[in-house]
């Protein structure tokens, strides 16, 4: 195999620095550290083998996440649930979802600025994220952690931008509702209006 | 400007003491309903510049919507904190490098 210096350099400078980001993403897909490490290693090997398909200077992260996700999905049998979720979100108006986020309305008398979110422990947040169906989990992680734009996520997942928004907003709303329940149970925010 | 910078500017800029909601001249020319519909897109920095400015103006002046913005921001921060807290074990980098070297990668 002919390995040009240029290919080596680009891989080292643009691809390799994304190890942490790929691991974060792999963790949320695979769910445990051992599988996430395997998936990360495999992603970089696959990236190295297909480095010719990477355009230097473009979003290396999106490219790596796509590889990572494809590797993961190949092992998963998503089948029926996947299609159900797709049809379920098809008619949603994302702005309606934004408007109807209710946790703020429930909490505002006691904690208008949402200070209680700081008291929710990381383990609970990760548990709630991991309980989301994959279709919602992946857009939330790609947007909120990796800061990809709606357009980049749409391209990566091969779905319309409207579907990205709808899944993202619904995913966040579900997370908030789940974690708000926890916050009430844990006494992080009081149950009674004061 | 990213939404975080915008938010910082918003927070440091002026007290939120507007009376809020609709009225004949809502702040920024945006009603509370419209602000609520676009809140997520605003925080994601996904709106055209002009719309972003009018919304920023609204949030800054509206006593009803401004806390909501802070609430959503606090939620995002908590999520990012939890997700970023998961650092890969230190040996993963070496493990990946070794595997790559076996396939011809030569780091400089």
B108 contacts in chain A (CB < 8 Å): 8-9, 12
Q: Is B23 left (phi over 0), alpha (psi -120 to 50) or beta?
A: left
Is B50 a residue whose pLDDT tops 80?
yes
**Cβ–Cβ gap B70/A107 under 8 Å:** no
Look at residue A56 in the predicted model and tell me its pLDDT.
87
Q: Tell me how far apart the alpha carbons of residues A191 and A110 are, in angstroms, rounded to a whole number.
A: 9
Tens digits of per-residue pLDDT, A23-40?
A: 999 999 998 899 999 999
**Cβ–Cβ gap B108/A9 under 8 Å:** yes
**Cβ–Cβ gap B88/A150 under 8 Å:** no
Tens digits of per-residue pLDDT, A51-63?
A: 988 988 888 999 9
Is A108 a residue whose pLDDT tops 60?
yes
Q: Tell me how far apart the alpha carbons of residues B7 and B12 are, in angstroms, rounded to a whole number.
A: 8
Q: How many angstroms separate the CA of residue A185 from the nearest CA in chain B?
A: 18
pLDDT tier, A6 (very low <50, low <70, confident <90, very high otherwise): confident
Identity of the residue in B78, B86, B107 whose CB atom sits nearest the CB atom of A120: B78
The pLDDT mean for chain B works out to: 83
Look at residue B9 in the predicted model and tell me its pLDDT.
55
CB contact at 8 A, B5 and A64: no
Alpha helices for chain A (secondary structure H): 5-10, 19-30, 33-49, 60-75, 79-89, 94-99, 103-107, 122-131, 134-140, 150-157, 161-185
Look at residue B95 in the predicted model and tell me its pLDDT.
95
Choose between A66 and A90: higher pLDDT: A66
Nearest to A159 by CA among A126, A134, A177: A134
Look at residue B65 in the predicted model and tell me its pLDDT.
93
Residue B31 is classified by DSSP as -
The pTM of this model reads 0.80
Tokens representing residue A143 in the block: 């947007």
Q: Tell me how far apart the alpha carbons of residues B98 and B95 are, in angstroms, rounded to a whole number.
A: 5
Is A165 a residue whose pLDDT tops 80?
yes
Look at residue A102 in the predicted model and tell me its pLDDT.
80
Mean pLDDT of A160-165: 93
Tokens representing residue B78 in the block: 């908590």
B105 contacts in chain A (CB < 8 Å): 3, 8, 11, 48
pLDDT tier, A151 (very low <50, low <70, confident <90, very high otherwise): very high
CB contact at 8 A, A64 and A15: yes
Q: Which residues pair with B19 in a beta bridge?
A: B62
Look at residue A186 in the predicted model and tell me its pLDDT.
86
**Cβ–Cβ gap A48/B105 under 8 Å:** yes
Tokens representing residue B3 in the block: 């939404």
**Cβ–Cβ gap A145/B80 under 8 Å:** yes
Chain A with chain B: Cβ pairs closer than 8 A: 139
Is A82 a residue whose pLDDT tops 80?
no
Nearest to A105 by CA among B27, B16, B39, B44: B39
Tens digits of per-residue pLDDT, B4-49?
A: 555 555 554 444 444 444 456 788 899 999 999 999 999 999 999 9
Respond yes or no on whether ipTM tops 0.85: no
Chain B interface with A: residues with Cβ < 8 Å: 33, 36-41, 44, 46, 67-68, 70-89, 92-93, 95-96, 99-100, 103-108
A6 contacts in chain B (CB < 8 Å): none
């Amino acid at each position: 195999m002919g390995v040009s210096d240029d290919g080596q350099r680009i891989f080292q400078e643009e691809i390799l620095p994304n190890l942490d980001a790929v691991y974060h993403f792999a963790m949320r897909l695979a769910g445990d550290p051992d599988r996430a490490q395997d998936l990360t290693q495999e992603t970089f090997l696959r990236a190295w083998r297909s480095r010719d398909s990477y355009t230097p200077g473009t979003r290396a992260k999106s490219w790596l996440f796509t590889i990572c996700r494809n590797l993961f999905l190949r092992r998963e049998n998503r089948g029926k649930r996947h299609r159900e979720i797709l049809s379920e979100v098809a008619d949603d108006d994302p702005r309606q979802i934004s408007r109807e986020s209710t946790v703020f309305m429930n909490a505002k008398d006691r904690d208008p600025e949402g200070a209680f979110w700081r008291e929710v422990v990381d383990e609970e947040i990760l548990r709630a994220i991991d309980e989301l169906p994959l279709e919602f989990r992946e857009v939330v992680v790609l947007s909120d952690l990796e800061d990809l734009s709606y357009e980049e996520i749409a391209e990566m997942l091969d779905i319309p931008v409207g579907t990205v928004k709808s899944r993202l907003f619904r995913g966040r709303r579900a997370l908030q509702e789940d974690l708000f329940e926890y916050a009430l149970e844990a006494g992080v925010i009081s149950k009674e209006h004061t | 400007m990213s939404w975080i910078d915008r938010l910082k500017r918003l927070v440091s800029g002026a007290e939120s003491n507007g009376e809020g909601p609709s009225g004949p001249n809502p702040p920024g020319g945006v009603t509370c309903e419209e602000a609520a519909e676009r809140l997520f897109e605003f925080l994601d920095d996904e709106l055209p510049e002009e719309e972003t400015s009018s919304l920023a103006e609204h949030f800054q002046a509206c006593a009803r919507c401004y806390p909501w913005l802070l609430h959503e921001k606090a939620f995002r921060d908590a999520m990012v904190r939890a997700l970023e807290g998961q650092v890969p074990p230190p040996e993963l980098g070496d493990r990946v490098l070794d595997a790559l070297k076996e396939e011809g990668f030569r780091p400089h």
